[in-house]
Structure 1
């Protein structure tokens, strides 16, 4: 069986493209799970079994310093706060939508309206919105309440 040069190129290109997409999806899922678990640990440490927690600012600051030295700037104090908020806003790990990236979730955790969050999650997935698309849609106030679906999001 003879394969033309162009056909061979297209076949190899498709394999490489699919492999890269698979690696990205796996890496993204792992990153989301990692940040969710870190958020969970921070919240559990803050609350120490209580319904609500109080946290000394130096605890996150110290944790951030140690993690940043070992793992880099992704663990600055601001991002640790985002991880905590991520866990608090989406307490059901299995309900996380892995089609969305960490940057998507950082935008979504700032919203206090679960209907709005659910709408933007659904629209982001259906329309393959990247972070910039989502941000633009949020800023243009495109939200229309069309019903909700369960995303695992908990409004505060």
Structure 2
């Protein structure tokens, strides 16, 4: 007599789920323990704040007492983390139970309150793992979104206080594709880039923005006997529209923009349902001339977005320079408008 495979799988699933819940429960208790330790340290430190250097003395003394018994989790450095944890999240209800201590260490490394609030909202909303959160912080997601939005708009979308009404509110420029494993020094073709994106589709969906689901690759369309192929087709549940993507490993031209506009028009006329919003096109390119993009498209354009990609994580200096450049452009535009 043999056991049914379905029965074995059912019990295996129960065991796996129970173990996962147990691990999450232990991690939640650990996070709360660190918060409580931080609270005790902070309150004691405030009581002795009149004494010079008391805070440093307090943590060193606690570490000397606790580390021999409880291990490296109570080193001088770790106890400082716990104090910072409480100072950053002084209300226990603000401590998200779905976050691990690794999540919180990444969040605690962010000094800017708006920036930290953005990552808290995005991580909770998208159920990011600690590794995904760390990558988004390292790839400067917040700063990239600020290049075409203001802080309050970025925070409002992250908190789900408003739905995005413009593709630029969720689509980054540049997109950082270091996870594809393509070296920037190496020569590669468009087909290599497209194949790498499909191989790493889950990571790519996380990078291009919130609410994207994959629909098709190399989608063929026929127009009066002529056949065309759209590189990638997505649907975005937040924008409630199709999103078409063309990939170029060179600097985009006005012909590339015209081709994508044709695809967008086709989808709007033959694929889009009446209750869906107008189709959006993304040109993902190695380089672009913003002035050419702007002149090629209508002034009120909201259907085509050109976004550069890079195959490495940007340095902080690169992002600061890029954000400053964008601010200067906006200032120049405002000055022209007021003249």
TM-score category of the 2 structures, normalised to the smaller one: 0.7 to 0.9
Bigger fraction of residues in helix: 1
2:81 aligns with 82
Give the deviation of 1:101 after TM superposition: 0.6
**TM-score, length-scaled by structure 1:** 0.83
Larger C-alpha radius of gyration, 1 or 2? 2
Measure the CA separation in 2 of the matches of 1:7 and 1:55: 63
String of CA shifts for 1:83-105, please: whole Å, max 9, x gaps.
00000000010221011111111
Residues 56 and 96 (structure 1 numbering): CA distance in 2 closer, same or farther, change over 3 Å?
closer
2:155 aligns with 146
Structure 1 segments (4+ residues) deviating >4 Å = none
Bigger fraction of residues in strand: 2
Give the deviation of 1:112 after TM superposition: 2.1
Measure the CA separation in 2 of the matches of 1:113 and 1:131: 19
1:21 aligns with 20
For structure 2, which runs of at least 5 residues remain unmatched after alignment?
A: 146-153, 160-339
Give the number of the structure with larger relative contact order, counting CA–CA contacts within 8 Å between residues 6 or more apart: 1
For structure 1, which runs of at least 5 residues remain unmatched after alignment?
A: 150-156
String of CA shifts for 1:101-138, please: whole Å, max 9, x gaps.
11111111121222221221222223332222111110
RMSD of equivalent CA atoms = 2.1
String of CA shifts for 1:12-45, please: whole Å, max 9, x gaps.
1111111012111211111111000000000001
**TM-score, length-scaled by structure 2:** 0.40
Compare 106-115 and 93-102 and name the one that shifted more: 106-115
1:57 aligns with 56
The 5 Å alignment of 1:126-137 reads: 126-137=125-136
1:71 matched to 2:65? The reply is no
